[in-house]
Structure 1
């Protein structure tokens, strides 16, 4: 291998090649262009209704009203456009974060970079579960097999070998986009982006796809039903108005106004923004959402299935204890103490059984301990040559590495792995085996990860096929610790308070698993179940044991899959963490698959719905909080929508029933849309999690966000506001005020009560006065802008006349102000009363 195969490119050279060759990515799917966004807005029903209103005003000869409508049309279009562009930008940001990662050698160090930054000439390190980031020529390989079915159609993984010298053949080339199914390798990038084999055949690697979520389907159905019914009623209203008053253009205007009041065009925008911005906010909290529907289910999660290493623990191992059948020695956390000579061999062969450039935390800890504790001794063999290795497999939980010393003809084999596997390799008698198993169990009971170590010598050049063919000698045990993260016990306690059960699945020894579970704060009243137990149980027996068991140990990927399926069959909503290629089936089977961003494989990340970029349990709990926040805020926005539309609909019908002039005209509804749209899309989305939300039980997965509770709250609040506004208009006319003055007072009260509706529904667990100082800049901006616009409408004569208003006297203005306060009081009273009923409901 040349020097660059070890050193890699320099940062400067990599930047130069990136500028010359371009990013390592394929042409992305066509994004929404500005023209397409504008076209989508123009074809919205609300926009078409506004054009119809403008045509009617032109037919009536009212050019000023038509121009006013046109101005409002552009304002509403601008708001819709900016909101949709914001959602687009959020999804594009997520797409960038979710691009594949690559482990490359830069400046003589292994660093993980975005796959798009890989350049020709880069040295890339591959391991099982990685997805090859670019076309490469292998420089080094160890049992490396790659699944090339996406290119060749061949379903059997292909074994790859390092290229001799600078030559390259089909068995030494690996191609972009293909997953590594086994082994490790090191290769030099030969082609990136569109020049790779994948790029040449025009395949596109997916980023984050926009999916239709269950709530979006439900909302689309509601919008369609309400729109059809509303348009039918609008036609009836237009006919009745025209026939009764012999004013067919006026009737048509009244019908269109009613249709504008009824059609809930905000709902799809609200959902798109809530889910898109919710995913974007999660990414800022180091949680990548690859599957947008997962945001909906987070609030309903009842079981979190997590692995131990790196999720509950810090994933920074250190050697704690060395044990042999003759001696035992504990290593303190600080300093480099002397190790008894009788234990040097345990550490010596553990180092030889590990990779020199280790990426596994245990191997890195063993290498660090060897360099520190065996320095200046004959037990470090930096001049020995690696001949071959036998990797860890599903059948044998041990690995062996074959070394050749410069002055010895015999080859030395060092093995490490699960104590049971090492005992099996050494073919020990039952008496010795029992003593070793007892020592391993005692160490594991203290929360340590225990590995057995063995060595052998082999005189012949031709190596056997299996590790079992070596005459291994048992050397000892090496115990490592991985402390529990400091924030895990509090996080698990918060999960328990939220009605979420945490289940740990690990490949560790039962004693180790139970010790870590106790330190983490898991409930461990029952016994742990092992992979062997799971294999022995039928489905019914396994489901009956699940409620009493929170710790599963010595489990393999197939056990995780079966556990997830059993939990789902028991009615649980399951979130599952995983990091290996074999975890992909369990991640897919879970309601919410969660992959590790730092140590996880590309295949696991692609199978998952969420990716924890920090690999810790606190990030998973953060995702649950965000899920509950999105669910709660969506319900608040829906209540506000119903409450805000109810008086608008009622005021559109009232003139026909009471013989009054039109109370609301299209321009008034457009003004109200300036309040309703940003409030639903921005104000409620930005509200923080409700106090006590993480002490409530998870919502039922079948529960709809737009349910009877939301509808009743909105109708009670909006119905009361409607009655108060009708009373204000009737009182104004009774005391001799003009229709224009009465309309102005009623409209001002409606605008102020709409602001009150927002304030009342922002937080259902707090009084409106208590929310005034809460941090939500969108509400503050909306409040200032609304009051400024309302003042301009009432105070500027040309604008006032376009709204068909006249300036009310002081007494009527005070009546309007009192009505606004009464509306807010009514909404708060109904909110608290309905909230109390909900809490008392069993």
Structure 2
């Protein structure tokens, strides 16, 4: 859902898609896959219950985060876990600490503090010896290599509420490894983005090895994975250099997302950025196209974004790129069509003055023209499917105008062909002894038929194939059918012929007009192909 009409068109020119992992590249069906005790073994049932209970207490009672939902779902007895306690104080995730701690108690008196977060951060807060940290970090790396997201959980007994989570004495309980399957369409969507000349950058809060494994499976460049902290330690020049090549960022905080977007923009990239949290607002606002998650995004993220992704699916973003490119291409065709068909109208209005002819086009003729031109632009071109090679072109320049020099010159060339054909028909009829009403009839028929041919020349074979597949139930078929019926009525009914100031045409004269329109349309198609 686009909040601004021009946003989808801008998405079509995106050069970098920055996306998070959970729920966008994955299915957002996170579940606890393993619980590991502090010795590195699979936890027994009692230890597992303690680990899960601590993870639950370090989560919200009614969470929207998929990891917290998975922890609550893994608990067999939530009332026993809460045991009548309430959250007295929260220590939220921040750029300084990739962890969440909740102080629980009764009557405003703290009893216990539950901590969960990035293993390295929890190990630090637990003040583990270096040897134990290295041993457990190896276990974390092994789980991450399997594509699992790993959290460490710890607990502290307390009777005094501290200002900082750092001030409690924690006991490490173990590790929780969570699995979230990759979306089946994610790999193909990434490949399609690459084919379209768009870089895909994954920005996640996950452990580096987890991010690398997921990136490898969906086709990202995994040779270099940089953490948010490492990125923030770089100066501006180094950041701009790093973002040229790195496609995976791990352990990223919201402020780092903004820094990444800023560096990409400084390199001249057109950046699309996904986000769902309250703190993602600045990055979404800074990106050229901010994309908020519709299912799991916060109100702040939705308000900051220009697009709301209703299904939270990365493939939908790539489809949005396709639609954006189609819209721009169709607008250009509509602009070309309008320029092309008005050149002969202008020419036929000027020539009678120069050659002392009777007026060729009367007001009634111009009005009828608009009955074909307007529906063609609003119905045929706006609803036309994208070209087959739409996603094989590099992104266009975001400032590329609709009226580019190429478009103007090409339109002038094709319009001049059509004007030349109309003038040739009219002059030939007059030289052959026809009166002005007969010449006008043949000329007008040529222009109307050529206008229909221009639609086919600009759109190519695909619009004909679409009409065949839809058995004539599309805009092109409707426009052509209405035009043919109207022409048949105008040229066969005496009252309408009198209104349009035209004379009846013989079959030979009709055939000449039809042949001239067909030749001009064919030449226009050839000219377009040569021009491209």
Deviations along 1:387-428, one digit per CA (max 9) or x if unpaired, are 52423231333233344599xx99233221221222232222
Is 1:491 aligned to 2:189, yes or no? yes
2 CA distance for matches of 1:668 and 1:481?
68
2 CA distance for matches of 1:489 and 1:482?
15
Structure 1 unpaired stretches of 5+: 1-287, 331-338
2 CA distance for matches of 1:405 and 1:441?
38
2 CA distance for matches of 1:733 and 1:559?
75
- Once the two structures are TM-superposed, the CA of residue 702 in structure 1 deviates from its matched residue by 2.9
Q: Provide the residue aligned with 1:397 in structure 2.
A: 98
2 CA distance for matches of 1:541 and 1:641?
49
Specify which of 468, 490, 503 is matched with residue 773 of structure 1.
Answer: 468
Is 1:455 aligned to 2:155, yes or no? yes
- Once the two structures are TM-superposed, the CA of residue 317 in structure 1 deviates from its matched residue by 0.8
2 CA distance for matches of 1:538 and 1:607?
27
Is 1:323 aligned to 2:25, yes or no? no
The answer to whether the 8 A contact 1:327-1:343 is kept is: no
The answer to whether the 8 A contact 2:38-2:172 is kept is: no
Is 1:385 aligned to 2:85, yes or no? yes
Specify which of 222, 226, 229 is matched with residue 532 of structure 1.
Answer: 229
The answer to whether the 8 A contact 2:88-2:105 is kept is: no
Q: Provide the residue aligned with 1:730 in structure 2.
A: 427
Q: Secondary structure at the match of 1:672?
A: helix
Cα pair distance change 1:497/1:469, threshold 3 Å: same
The answer to whether the 8 A contact 1:383-1:405 is kept is: no
2 CA distance for matches of 1:414 and 1:514?
29
Specify which of 540, 563, 577 is matched with residue 274 of structure 2.
Answer: 577
The answer to whether the 8 A contact 1:326-1:342 is kept is: no
Specify which of 294, 302, 316 is matched with residue 7 of structure 2.
Answer: 294
1 CA distance for matches of 2:376 and 2:220?
42
The answer to whether the 8 A contact 2:278-2:300 is kept is: yes
Alpha-carbon RMSD: 2.2
Tell me how many residue pairs correspond in the alignment: 528
- Once the two structures are TM-superposed, the CA of residue 327 in structure 1 deviates from its matched residue by 4.8
Cα pair distance change 1:468/1:833, threshold 3 Å: closer
Cα pair distance change 1:405/1:721, threshold 3 Å: closer
Specify which of 436, 450, 475 is matched with residue 173 of structure 2.
Answer: 475
- Once the two structures are TM-superposed, the CA of residue 774 in structure 1 deviates from its matched residue by 5.4
The answer to whether the 8 A contact 2:343-2:415 is kept is: yes
Deviations along 1:636-686, one digit per CA (max 9) or x if unpaired, are 111111111111111111112222111111111111011111111221000
- Once the two structures are TM-superposed, the CA of residue 771 in structure 1 deviates from its matched residue by 6.1
Specify which of 312, 315, 318 is matched with residue 25 of structure 2.
Answer: 312
Q: Provide the residue aligned with 1:425 in structure 2.
A: 125
Q: Provide the residue aligned with 1:27 in structure 2.
A: none
Greater relative contact order (Cα 8 A, min sep 6): structure 1 or 2?
A: 2
2 CA distance for matches of 1:713 and 1:767?
21
Q: Provide the residue aligned with 1:360 in structure 2.
A: 65
Q: Provide the residue aligned with 1:346 in structure 2.
A: 51
Q: Secondary structure at the match of 1:319?
A: strand
Specify which of 265, 279, 296 is matched with residue 599 of structure 1.
Answer: 296
Q: Secondary structure at the match of 1:817?
A: helix
Is 1:756 aligned to 2:456, yes or no? no
TM-score in terms of structure 2 length: 0.94
In the TM superposition, 1:179-190 aligns within 5 A as none
2 CA distance for matches of 1:410 and 1:545?
46
1 CA distance for matches of 2:507 and 2:149?
80
Q: Secondary structure at the match of 2:75?
A: helix
1 CA distance for matches of 2:24 and 2:137?
27
Cα pair distance change 1:832/1:771, threshold 3 Å: farther
Q: Secondary structure at the match of 1:787?
A: helix
Q: Secondary structure at the match of 2:319?
A: helix
1 CA distance for matches of 2:163 and 2:142?
34
Structure 2 unpaired stretches of 5+: none
Q: Secondary structure at the match of 1:301?
A: coil
- Once the two structures are TM-superposed, the CA of residue 625 in structure 1 deviates from its matched residue by 0.8
The answer to whether the 8 A contact 1:595-1:608 is kept is: yes
Q: Provide the residue aligned with 1:214 in structure 2.
A: none
